[in-house]
Amino acid sequence: MNKAIKNFVWLMLPPCKEVTELISLNRDRGISFAERLKVRAHILFCKFCARYLRQMQSLEEELHHKHLPEDAPPDVIKRIKKIVRDNS
Amino acid sequence: MAPELTTPELWVDEHGAYLYNYALAQVHDSQSAEDLVQETFLAALQSRQAFEGRSPIRTWLTGILKHKIIDHLRKKYRELPESTVTLPYEKEGLFRTEGDMRDHWRAEVGPQDWVINPADELERKEFWKILEGCTDRLPPRLRIVFTLREISELETEEICKDLEVTATNLWVMLHRARMQVRRCLELHLNA
Ligand SMILES: [Zn+2]
């Protein structure tokens, strides 16, 4: 892309701080089509925001899938079992 | 296994540890997690007749526990004072404050690639440990809001109603919590 055009497009786009806010808003209540386009365009120019978006997506995915451990302290399980037995 | 063939004690063997970890990831306090799981099993015993085995037992138990966790967090949130602290990422100043590039990342502190990849099975455990440490360090009210949204996966409308906060207020808290957790993760994953 021509450098002048590139600069012009960049100036029309929201700054990084606003992009991070739009990414949060998008997750919570959705953002408009125009806002989405601005975020996408910004990310083409900005490696920091591209990483930010990727990281937030993988963080959400991890939190959502909750690969929780399948073991717990034995004494906790023992105490819970006792209560269940006493109340069965 | 048909539900009538399982005894409540077996429920504890099969699902107790899972439920405990599920609670612990949200309440961040082992005693409360244990209490909540205990109450869940007691409630399950009482409503056993109503459970017709249409869903797996674990799903049924998790559903009961989820409500108890949300109740617990809601009560805790109300007891806590409003937090006005500046978060570490805010003190650090991740964005430029002047010039043409105002509100853009400062190059020295802009997002870096993470060394530990959560999608990697082997690295996942390490990632969760660090993530837990990072959410633990959030101011208590922010931690509850972040947990309800990202781990309990409540809709924002529901959180607003439960905690009696406005949508804008909630959104500001969520964004600050996310910014802080991400920055904390980055600093510790790449340490
Ligand atoms: Zn950017």
Q: Nearest by CB to B21, which of A17, A55, A68?
A: A68
Residue that finishes a domain, picked among B79, B106, B125: B79
CB burial class (10 A; 0-12, 13-18, 19+) of residue A26?
middle
How far away, in angstroms, is A56 Cα from ligand 1 center? 14
Chain B residues whose CB is inside 8 A of the A46 CB are 104-105
d(C-alpha B172, C-alpha A4), whole Å:
36
Model ipTM value: 0.87
Arithmetic mean of pLDDT, B158-181: 96
Q: What is the pLDDT of residues B132-151, one digit of tens each?
A: 899 999 999 999 999 999 99
pTM for the predicted model, two decimal places: 0.89
Chain A residues lying within 8 Å of B9, measured CB to CB: 81, 84-85, 88
B57 and B99 in one domain? no
Q: Do A84 and B11 touch (CB under 8 A)?
A: yes
What residues in A contact B124, CB-CB < 8 Å? 62, 67
The 10s digit of each residue's pLDDT in A29-54 is: 899 999 999 999 999 999 999 999 99
CATH number, domain containing residue B46: 1.10.1740.10
Partner-chain contact B186 A71, CB within 8 Å: no
Q: Are B142 and B176 in contact (CB under 8 A)?
A: yes
Number of domains in chain B: 2
Enumerate the domain spans of chain A.
3-86
Q: Which residues of A touch B181 (CB under 8 A)?
A: 59
Mean model confidence pLDDT for chain B: 91
Range of the domain at B33: 3-79
Here the CATH number for the domain that contains residue B182 is: 1.20.140.160
Same domain, yes or no: B184 and B92: yes
Final residue in a domain of this structure, among B79, B110, B144: B79
What is the C-alpha separation between B64 and B41, in angstroms, rounded?
9
- CA–CA separation, B25 vs B128, rounded Å? 10
Assess whether B126 and B69 both reside in one domain.
no
Euclidean distance between CA atoms A84 and B183, whole angstroms:
43
| Domain termination residue (choose one: B79, B107, B123) | B79
**Same-domain check for residues B130 and B73:** no
Instruction: Tell me the torsion sign for CA atoms B58, B59, B60, B61.
Output: positive
pLDDT, tens only, B27-51 = 989 999 999 999 999 999 988 877 7
Task: Please determine, for residue A81, whether its predicted confidence score (pLDDT) is greater than 80.
Answer: yes
Contact A63, B151 (CB under 8 A): yes
Residues B181 and B92 in one domain: yes
Contact between B8 and B44 under an 8 Å Cβ cutoff? The reply is yes
State how far residue B25 is from chain A, nearest Cα, in angstroms. 8
Percent of chain B's residues with pLDDT above 70? 96
Instruction: Provide CB contacts within 8 A for B114, sequence distance 6+.
Output: A55, B185, B186, B189, B190
